[in-house]
Amino acid sequence: MRTHLLAAVAAAALSPVAATAQTMSHDHDMAMPETGANAQADDSTPDMKMADPGYTPGSGTARLPAEEGMMPGPMVHSGGWMLMAHGYLWGAYTDQSGPRGDDMAFVQSMAMLTGERELGGGARLQLRSMLSLDPLMGARGYPNLLATGETADGVPLVDRQHPHDLFMELAARVDVPVGEDGSLFVYGGPVAEPALGPSAFMHRRSDRYAPLAPITHHWFDSTHITYGVVTAGWANPHVQLEASAFRGREPDEERWGIETPKLDSWSVRASWTPSPDWAVQVSHGRLESPEATHPGEDEARTTASIHYAKGGLATMLAFSAKNRLSGRTLTAWLAEANWDIDRHHTMFGRIENVANDELFGEGDPLHGRAFRVTKAEAGYAYRLPVGPFDLALGGSLAAYAKPDALDAAYGNSPIGYTLFARLSLGQ
Ligand SMILES: [Cu+2]
């Protein structure tokens, strides 16, 4: 079973892909601060007729390959503003085996509304909001074997993915041109994403149809909802250098409100988009007491990721080292791919390997020990247009590898499957 899944993921990642047409509702040019700065045209996507800005914006200030294309969604021009909407709603049922396995039907959702306008002198203003009804899942989120992070009823969540907050982003960004093709920018707000890690998983095309959050979420992109962020940087179409001040503490389990912003932590990130197909980032952050259950324990996090996209294929390979500053360093690897084979068929897969020391709570003999575990998941989605929406019907299979010491808790070889229907705005 495991070999089979690995082979499927490898096939998805390695297949030579013809430049299959992908639908894109936005011209890249419209959403970019560096309009027309770099006229390196890439005509593998039919509606990308204007100059290529060099990248696709990811979550926060992250960059993804230009070839990934924007999330689909309608765009409206009104009174000098360009308004864009994106969103999805998906229902899923997951069943995971073993003593710690569980099953659940749940709904994940996200709505984004972005407004952008000229300020004069080439400067641009962007106002961004992102909302989620994830809190309706309940405090304990949904089953996700070997995932850890955040709390419910004061107890750390283990083998669960926590729900996301109602307010995922309330932020603004200003870009001011400097020099030939560069710009200085400031981004931030009461709920925003600091310059740390790759673009958050729900914004990566390489992760678009994977129904469960990565078990490495708290190594790579868990800071995507942060209460209090200020980021400043310099960018041109191919290079971006930025630094953030932000609140280190993760969101608490009260998911409906806005928590008190602070600026007690920092991060720096360098991004490089040498061609429309590639994006690379390295980042480092110092988080003040991120976990409520370990007050006073700070974390240093270093991440690197490389993203490749071509036609219908989008991939990411990423590494993270989380240093608890009690001395222990826990590392994680993640490889993922999404391949839109044609208008209807998509294959996707993800492999994660991580050293986790939070699998056993207080009082358990294994409490505090770090175990290196692997999860491989692969799936398929059938996509079809339904009115203004795109409907994806699919499923995935997951297998796990772990040390024998975990057999009593997880069974010899736990597996899981997930079925889903995902409705997204735009095609
Ligand atoms: Cu998250």
Q: How far is the CA of 320 from the centre of ligand 1 (A)?
A: 16
The CA 41 to ligand 1 mean position distance, Å, reads 34
pLDDT band of 72, cuts 50, 70, 90: confident
Give the pair of three-digit tokens for residue 261: 């912003």
Ligand 1 mean position to 72 CA, how many Å?
21
CA of 49 to the centre of ligand 1 (A): 35
CA 75 to centroid of ligand 1, rounded, Å:
26
The string of pLDDT tens digits covering residues 1-55 is 333 433 433 333 333 333 333 333 333 333 333 333 333 333 344 333 344 579 9
Using alpha carbons, list the distances in angstroms from residue 153 to 58, 83, 160, 368. 33, 39, 14, 20
CA distances (Å), origin 184, targets 51, 108, 247: 21, 35, 23
Confidence of residue 327 (pLDDT cuts 50, 70, 90): confident
Taking alpha carbons only, the member of 7, 11, 108 closest to residue 418 is: 108
Quick one: residue 189, left, alpha or beta (phi over 0 = left, psi -120 to 50 = alpha)? left
Q: How far is the CA of 216 from the centre of ligand 1 (A)?
A: 10
CA of 369 to the centre of ligand 1 (A): 24
Using one digit for the tens of pLDDT, what is the confidence trace for 168-187? 999 999 999 999 999 999 99
Distance 225 CA to ligand 1 centre (A): 7
Report which of 94, 118, 98 is spatially closest to residue 107, judged by C-alpha positions.
Answer: 94
Residues 81-135: tens digit of each pLDDT: 999 999 999 999 999 999 999 999 999 999 999 999 999 999 999 999 999 999 9
CA of 221 to the centre of ligand 1 (A): 7
Tokens for 93?
């049922």
Distance from the CA of 156 to the center of ligand 1, in angstroms? Answer: 15
For residue 132, what are the CA distances in angstroms to 61, 90, 168?
20, 12, 7
Count other Cβ atoms within 10 Å, centred on residue 119: 12
- Has residue 264 got a pLDDT over 70? yes
| Region of poorest pLDDT, from 10-14, 219-223, 227-231 | 10-14
Give residue 303 CA to ligand 1 midpoint distance, Å.
16
CA–centroid distance, 217 to ligand 1, in Å, is 7
∠ CA 280-283-287, nearest 5°, is 155
Distance 139 CA to ligand 1 centre (A): 14
Q: Which tokens belong to 408?
A: 């009593």
Mean pLDDT of 237-251: 97
pTM of the model: 0.86
Return the pLDDT at 52: 59
- Distance of alpha carbon 324 from alpha carbon 313, whole angstroms: 35
Q: Are 56 and 46 in contact (CB under 8 A)?
A: no
Q: What percent of the chain has pLDDT over 70?
A: 88
- Domains of the chain are 2-425 (2.40.160.10)
Compute the distance from residue 342 Cα to the ligand 1 centre, in Å.
30
Can you give the C-alpha Rg of the chain in angstroms? 21
